[in-house]
Amino acid sequence: MPFVFINYRVRDQSGYAALLYRELVRRFGPGTTFLAASSIDGGADFQRETFDNLRRCRVLLAVIGSRWNTSPMPDRDWVHEEIAEAWANDVRVVPVLIEDAELPDTAALPQALQFLTSTQYVRIRHYTIDADLEHLTSVLRRTVPELTERPGSPSSGSHFPVSFGLTTPAHHCTIGIVPGDIRRVRSVDIWVNSENTDMQMARITDFSISAIIRYLGAQRDETGRIVRDLIADELEARVTRRPVAPGTAVVTSAGSLAMSNGVRHLIHVAAVQGEPGDGYGQVRDIGGCVRNVLARATSLAEEDPTTRRILFPLFGVGVGGAPVDPTARAMLSAVIDFLTHDLDTKLTDILFLAFTDQERRTLEQVMCAEPLLDGPR
């Protein structure tokens, strides 16, 4: 049974809603949190499933961004209806204000929602997100005592890679899985950034690897606001023509990530591309993206004896919406192909980031099924 219901407006802050869902499921376990886009199976009655789950929940998180009450309203406002239904059924409503958004004025709300203006809120900002998420989860634990953090959740500090080795005896490179949030990864020399074919980094208020790398790599003042956009500016200077071909890999410095996370280099690869009227999607040759990145990484490792470890996210499974399983298989296959043809690579660890439990389980299953890998160590 879900305890927490995430209410959000698709045109406002859908990325932060997805972030909250992933984070709460990772901390409290599957089935504890409801997000319509992720929790309702295809073919199910959307309205019935949504409101049945809402009435069973104990807390509704109303995700409110700067456009929450200013976008053109549909004929039937599901966001408003869900909040009103929660209030009518004694489900606690917690407004979650994103970045610098504020609660709407009373006059701007229908009567059934005017209670929001006197409701205590929590806030999530990109530059204090770790502390903000900790605060939110502590609020939820106090409100719903049944919610307990799982072993291996972010607060437990269990973020160690699962490693596999090639069965080729002479090969010294291992393939690993690093579970959790990339912001907590330390001492990996090269981070790979899945970028679009325009090689333009995501806005820092988006929830994506590109946005996280851009923000953490920037020079920031004491309030967390960007003073110099180090990585985005360097990438802009290095790419002279746009769009680039899918699979293009561009190396930049790590900016402030060098101090905060021990990153020495970033490799930006064009792994998603935009289609008119259809948004961004994964490029066709994901394996080619991996091989191009590893070729760049090998050159960096040959030039710098301290560069030995590289971290890949699963390309295009976030904003690009690509399925996890075939993406993991294609990327692992490309890694193995690279290693079996380059036994002299100086890389010692090729790591995959598993942000969600689903990504971790899929990567483990794919690696365990690979005959050229000798199983977890």
**Which pLDDT does position 160 carry in this prediction?**
35
pLDDT at 181 > cutoff 90? no
Does residue 93 lie in a domain region?
A: yes
Does residue 229 lie in a domain region?
A: yes
How many distinct structural domains can be found in the chain? 2
Residues linked to residue 255 through DSSP beta bridges, in sequence order: none
Condensed to tens digits (0 to 9), the pLDDT of residues 267-322 reads: 999 999 876 655 678 999 999 999 999 999 999 999 988 888 999 999 989 766 78
Structure tokens at 280: 């961004």
pLDDT at 56 > cutoff 90? yes
**Is the C-alpha dihedral spanning 19, 24, 29, 34 positive or negative?**
negative
Over range 85-112, report the average pLDDT.
92
Condensed to tens digits (0 to 9), the pLDDT of residues 319-345 reads: 667 899 999 999 999 999 998 887 678
Does residue 49 lie in a domain region?
A: yes
pLDDT at 166 > cutoff 60? no
252 phi and psi, to 5 degrees? -135, 170
Q: Where do we find the tokens 């269990």? A: 158
Sequence-distant (6+) residues with CB within 8 A of 66 are: 12, 98, 99, 100, 101
Full residue range of the structural domain in which residue 101 is found: 4-143
pLDDT at 179 > cutoff 80? yes
- In a 10 Å sphere around its CB, with 0-12 CB exposed, 13-18 middle and 19+ buried, how is residue 353 labelled? buried
pLDDT at 243 > cutoff 50? yes
Domain termination site, one of 143, 175, 196: 143
Higher pLDDT, residue 262 or 3: 3
Does residue 8 lie in a domain region?
A: yes
Structure tokens at 148: 């307990």
pLDDT at 156 > cutoff 50? no
Three-point CA angle 331, 192, 268, nearest 5°: 110
245 phi and psi, to 5 degrees? -70, 145
Does residue 148 lie in a domain region?
A: no
Q: Same domain for 108 and 190?
A: no
Peptide bond connecting 305 to the previous residue in cis, omega within 30 degrees of 0? no
Q: What type of residue sits at position 44?
A: A
Q: Same domain for 120 and 246?
A: no
Does residue 154 lie in a domain region?
A: no
Q: Same domain for 221 and 124?
A: no
Angle between helix axes 10-28 and 129-143 (nearest 10 degrees) is: 70
Sequence-distant (6+) residues with CB within 8 A of 362 are: 324, 325, 328
Q: What type of residue sits at position 352?
A: F
**Which pLDDT does position 320 carry in this prediction?**
66
Q: Same domain for 82 and 231?
A: no
Over range 169-190, report the average pLDDT.
80
When pLDDT is cut at 50, 70 and 90, the band that residue 170 belongs to is: very low
Q: Same domain for 227 and 370?
A: yes
Please provide the average confidence, as pLDDT, over all residues in the chain.
86
Q: Tell me the CATH number at 80.
A: 3.40.50.10140
Q: Which residues of 154-172 are buried (b: 16+ CB within 10 A; e: fewer)?
A: beeeeeebbbbbbeeeebe
Over range 173-194, report the average pLDDT.
88
What gap in Å lies between CA 158 and CA 262, rounded to an integer? 19
Does residue 152 lie in a domain region?
A: no
Q: Same domain for 72 and 120?
A: yes
Over range 98-119, report the average pLDDT.
90
Over range 6-12, report the average pLDDT.
88
Q: Tell me the CATH number at 309.
A: 3.40.220.10
**Which pLDDT does position 210 carry in this prediction?**
93
Condensed to tens digits (0 to 9), the pLDDT of residues 229-242 reads: 999 999 999 999 99
When pLDDT is cut at 50, 70 and 90, the band that residue 141 belongs to is: confident
**Which pLDDT does position 73 carry in this prediction?**
62
